[in-house]
Amino acid sequence: MSLTPRRPLPQTPPPAAVPATPPAHKPTPAASLDAFVGDPNFMTSLARGLIVIQAFTQQNPQMTISQLSVRTGLSRAAVRRCLYTLTKLGFAGAEDGSRYSLRPRMLALSHTYTASNTLSSAAQPILERMSAALRESFSVATLDGEDIVYVARTTVSRVMAVDLHIGSRLPAYCTSMGRILLAYLPTEQLEQYLAHVVLTPHTPRTVTSVEKLRLILRNIRRNGYALCDQEYEIGLRSLAVPVFAPNGRAVATVNLSGSAPRLSSLEMQTRFLSHLRNAANEIAVFLR
């Protein structure tokens, strides 16, 4: 009988735990159309065309039908019909027959908005005058859903890695202009926003706590301005004030954006806060 000790049998690792529910996927733009099913006045075909248009971005200026289908959540057949219509009308096209892009005629739509929008047309010359005098970059934006949208802008130097222009969108929670517009929302609307917003950290400085953001917004409303220090992009610091409509609602915001190493928070407030407030008052006159 051998006295050699037995080797222990190899242990089989326990099976990996299976999550109770699969991870949630971000809904596609097409999923938003489900809310209008059964509405006889809702033009689904028009909505699909707008979804296809909005799928083109600076990062994805050219896409195939398959790529657009994945990006939008629309069927390939629906995307093909939308592109066919847009191409026939001159708003889109494909040089190689497969990769589509938007055409310059699309600019007519944005020009129609800026030319007919009182806020945009009134703000642009005021920003240009400030930029010429102060040699800084200024912007005006409004709130659209969870984002701010630029409606007027002047630049004297490139202060952001992202190329911003009229129509650009940025998250509201981590930008000075966004926080101004959030701070002056009616309480019910603000709470709805805070209940659904995902506070993604864009930099190590980004505030990702709802309670901390709520406190910041309370202080902004008390002080009448917002200062955001490198929360959306490292090296970018910005200061913003509200533009009030005659009914007292903050319908827009004016901001100064600059390089953090060049402009300190104190300098921004002491040198430029009064200029921003004067510009906001000038713009507000046109909203009456």
pLDDT band at 12 (very low <50, low <70, confident <90, very high): very low
- The pTM assigned to this predicted structure is 0.72
Rounded to whole angstroms, the maximal C-alpha distance in the chain is 104
For 54, the token pair is 């909005």
CA 174 to chain centre: 10
State the amino acid at position 181 in one-letter form.
Answer: L
| Selection from 200, 255, 206, 253 nearest residue 229 by Cα | 206
Burial (CB < 10 A; 0-12, 13-18, 19+), residue 206, is middle
What pLDDT shows up at residue 16?
Answer: 45
Greatest mean pLDDT among 58-62, 120-124, 157-161, 233-237 lies in: 233-237
pLDDT band at 229 (very low <50, low <70, confident <90, very high): very high
Percent of the chain having pLDDT more than 70? 86
Percent of the chain having pLDDT more than 90? 73
Q: What is the DSSP string of 201-217?
A: -SSTT----HHHHHHHH
pLDDT band at 121 (very low <50, low <70, confident <90, very high): confident
Positive/negative CA dihedral, 29, 33, 35, 41: positive
Q: Per-residue pLDDT tens for 247-270?
A: 999 999 999 999 999 999 999 999
What pLDDT shows up at residue 267?
Answer: 94
| Selection from 281, 285, 262, 284 nearest residue 273 by Cα | 281
Higher pLDDT, 35 or 4: 35
What pLDDT shows up at residue 25?
Answer: 61
What pLDDT shows up at residue 116?
Answer: 59
What pLDDT shows up at residue 166?
Answer: 84
For 271, the token pair is 């040198």
Q: Per-residue pLDDT tens for 204-215?
A: 999 999 999 999
Q: Which residues lie closer than 8 Å to 54 by C-beta, 6 or more apart?
A: 29
Please check the confidence at residue 174 and state whether its pLDDT lies above 90: yes
